[in-house]
Structures are given as structure tokens and as C-alpha cells.
Amino acid sequence: MTKIRVIKNKMKTAKRLEGIGEYYFSQKLREIDTLNKAGKNIISLGIGSPDLPPHPDVIKVLHEESAKPGTHAYQSYKGSPVLRTAVAGWYKKWYQVDLNADTEILPLIGSKEGIMHICMTYLNEGDFVLIPNPGYPTYKSAATIAGGKCMEYNLTAANNWMPDFKEIENNLYVNRVKLMFVNYPHMPTGQLPTQEVFEQLVTFAKKYNILIVHDNPYSFILNEAPVSMLSVAGAKDCVVELNSLSKSHNMAGWRVGMLCGAKEKIDEVLRFKSNMDSGMFLPLQLAAAKALTLEKDWHDDINAVYKTRREKVFELLDILHCSYSKNQAGMFVWAAIPSGYKDGYELSDKVLYGANVFITPGGIFGTAGEKYVRVSLCCKEENITAAILRVKELMK
């Protein structure tokens, strides 16, 4: 009897994934979980996942609406008009920006989803995309998956972490740029925007026919003056803005974000989005709408907690002989490492394996972050205090 030899060829992944690795925190959190199972009891000061709950009234709305029998069906791809109206009111109240709730707002299952939707909507193979360095790694990975070519623009402490427009314009491919990702208050550096730089960005975008994607999830954290790039005159011609309830309202796991901009852009992104997902669970949207009506005292209370934690993080960084600005916004502290270390990875590993404390190496945000570390404020004060004691012992 003749045996048939079966040759199994390994399935290859798509070319679009070449150069795209697993997200850093996805890998690192697994490692930390393994260390914890081995009894290490790691104190994680890495990821920016709020540990504080949403407002009780928000949870109450979710609970009450979820109990209603008619709220479990598929929802509109454009989101509930209740949520869109709440977003419009929120933008008017806090950012002094007028948005049409029917045409200029698109609710999202988190703003990270919106980054991918925008890239898939506008990028063709080989289109150039301006990416901040340092910056949120998802900008680069989403643009690459969509077929774009990433052109980094460097942000430096010497330039207050703002774009150097002369340097960008000296690039031979600037005329081929289609999208530019911008993020202020900036993550990971905590740099606040200025009206001047927002105006410069709009002028630059119009000059080169670029769509600016402004990612704005941190404007309420340790910041007294939230600003939207859409407040600049003429911005809707060349800017779309992503925003989120993840950080500002302690709703990271709820996955509620939004895209704001001109009707034309909203309609274009909706063409892609409507083929990729469905509308959010209605009770989530109604609870999010409630969250957007919260007054200043809610943000003040949350920021008081973050402010106290930040002082403790400063103490931790002093023990590590890092240098930092005390005028950072957002839920992290960005700090330059001392000269004795090759890069932030070396310092991060020393602290992780020597003191069972995890801080994020700045290099994951780009080459411009290699001499830095980032410490999250999303950790209870007593845990930060415990981390300080461990690091003190390590650094003796």
C-alpha cells in the first residue's frame, strides 16, 4: 500500500504585519504576571490604567439602563443621539468649541480604535505619515498596518517637546505626507500645548494639504485649562480630534471614545468603521453621556489624588537620581535617567529585578525616549510608598 506523504506548509502572516510586534505592555504584563506567580509581588508603576472608579452616578445609569428589557439590541453605527448631544455640550462647555451633534461627532469603542479607523480610511500603500518621536506607539503600528510609511518628527526637551517645523519641512518627502499625528497634552512627556503651536500646526497642515489627527485624552488630568485644537480658527478644514473618557472619567475598560471634526471627515471615517464594528451597548452610551455632564468638582477631586501621588513619584525619582519637570500634565511623570545608565531599559530592568518595582522604559515611545523613563500615577499612594522603600534599599 502506497503511503501518501503530506507536506504541511507553515501559514505565513500578511506582509502588513512585518515589523509589527506584540504591543510592549501586552508582553510586559505577562512577564509581570509570571513574576507574581513566582512570589515576587511586583508593584507596577507602568501602564496608565486608572485605578479609581467612575462617578457613582455614572455606574448607577449603567446599572439602571442595563436592567431595561429594550436596551440590548444592535445600536446605530453613528452612536446614540443622547451621547452625541452630550459630547457636543461637553466640547462647548470645556473647550469652547461648537460641534454639530448630528454631523460632526462619531462615538468610538475607544479612541485607540479611532486611530486605526482613520489610517484605514485615508492611507494608501506608500502614503507618508508624520509620527511624533517620542509618542504613543499605536500611531506607528496603525499607520504601518494600513500601508503607510512613517516619517518621524523629533520632539526634544530643548524645544519644549514641540514640533520643529523647519526640520520637518527640510525632509524631501514632506510634500507626500497625508496624515500627521499630534498629541497634546503630550504622552509620554506631559507637555502642555500652546495656542501658538496649535495655530502653527493648522497653518502647516493647510500649506501641505495634510490631515492632522489630534489625540486629546489627557487634557483634564493635572491641567486647569483643557484645550482642543478644534478651537483654532479654520481647524476643521484640516484637523480631526480624538478624545476619550478613559482617563478623564476613569472609564478605560468601558471603551468609550469619540472622533470630532467636519461632517465630510466624519462621514468618510464612518464608511470604514461601519464595515468593521457595530454601535456600542446603549446603556454604556447613556452612562457615558451622564459622565460628560459632571462638574469641575469631579475633576478637582480626581486631580487632588493624582497630585498627591505625583509628589510621591517625584520622591521615587529623586532616589533614582533622575531629573524631571514638575510642570507636567497627564497621569505620568517623564524623567531623564542619570548618566550612569545606557538607556531607560537598563534602569527599568534594574528596578524590576532588583526591587520588584516596574517603571516604563522611555525607549518604547521611540528613539528620542531612550534616555528616559515614565512612571504612572495610576497606583495607590501606599503602593508608591512601598515602592519608594524598596528602591531605597536597592540604591543603598
- In the predicted model, what is the mean pLDDT of residues 238-248? 96
Within the chain, all domains assigned CATH 3.90.1150.10 are found at 15-31+38-50+297-394
Amino acid at 216: N
- In the predicted model, what is the mean pLDDT of residues 2-13? 69
At the second CATH level, the architecture of 57-291 is 3-Layer(aba) Sandwich (3.40)
Spatial separation of the C-alpha atoms in residues 168 and 160, rounded to whole Å: 16
Q: What is the structure's pLDDT at 298?
A: 93
- In the predicted model, what is the mean pLDDT of residues 122-132? 95
Q: Is the pLDDT of residue 143 over 90?
A: yes
Q: What is the structure's pLDDT at 10?
A: 74
Could you tell me which residue, 8 or 12, shows the higher pLDDT?
12
Spatial separation of the C-alpha atoms in residues 265 and 37, rounded to whole Å: 48
Residue 324: which H helix or E strand, with range? Answer: strand 323-324
Full strand arrangement of the beta sheet holding 323-324: 43-45, 357-361, 372-376, 332-336, 323-324
Beta bridge partners of 375: 333
Q: What is the structure's pLDDT at 332?
A: 95
Q: What is the structure's pLDDT at 318?
A: 96
- Local structure of 145: helix, strand or coil: helix
Q: Is the pLDDT of residue 365 over 90?
A: yes
Q: What is the structure's pLDDT at 8?
A: 63
- What are the pLDDT digits (tens) for 71-113? 898 888 888 999 999 999 999 999 999 999 999 999 999 889 9
Name the CA radius of gyration of the chain, rounded.
22
- Look at residues 294, 315, 325 and name the one whose alpha carbon lies nearest to residue 390: 315
- What are the pLDDT digits (tens) for 255-277? 999 999 999 999 999 999 999 88
Query: Can you read off the three cell numbers belonging to residue 84?
Result: 452625541
Q: Say what percent of the chain tops pLDDT 70.
A: 97
- What are the pLDDT digits (tens) for 173-200? 899 999 999 999 999 999 999 999 999 9
Q: What is the structure's pLDDT at 144?
A: 94
Burial 356-370 (b: 16+ CB within 10 A, else e): bbbbbbbbbbbebbb
Full strand arrangement of the beta sheet holding 149-154: 105-108, 257-260, 239-244, 211-215, 177-182, 128-133, 149-154
Spatial separation of the C-alpha atoms in residues 265 and 262, rounded to whole Å: 5
Within the chain, all domains assigned CATH 3.40.640.10 are found at 57-291
Q: What is the structure's pLDDT at 171?
A: 87
Q: What is the structure's pLDDT at 13?
A: 82
- Look at residues 237, 170, 172 and name the one whose alpha carbon lies nearest to residue 201: 237
Burial of 331 (0-12, 13-18, 19+ CB in 10 A): buried
Average pLDDT, the chain: 92
Whole-structure pTM value: 0.92
Amino acid at 252: A
CATH number 1.20.120.1200 is the correct assignment for the domain at 15-31+38-50+297-394:
no
- In the predicted model, what is the mean pLDDT of residues 248-256? 91
- In the predicted model, what is the mean pLDDT of residues 300-306? 96
Q: What is the structure's pLDDT at 2?
A: 62
Confidence band (pLDDT; 50, 70, 90) for 20?
confident
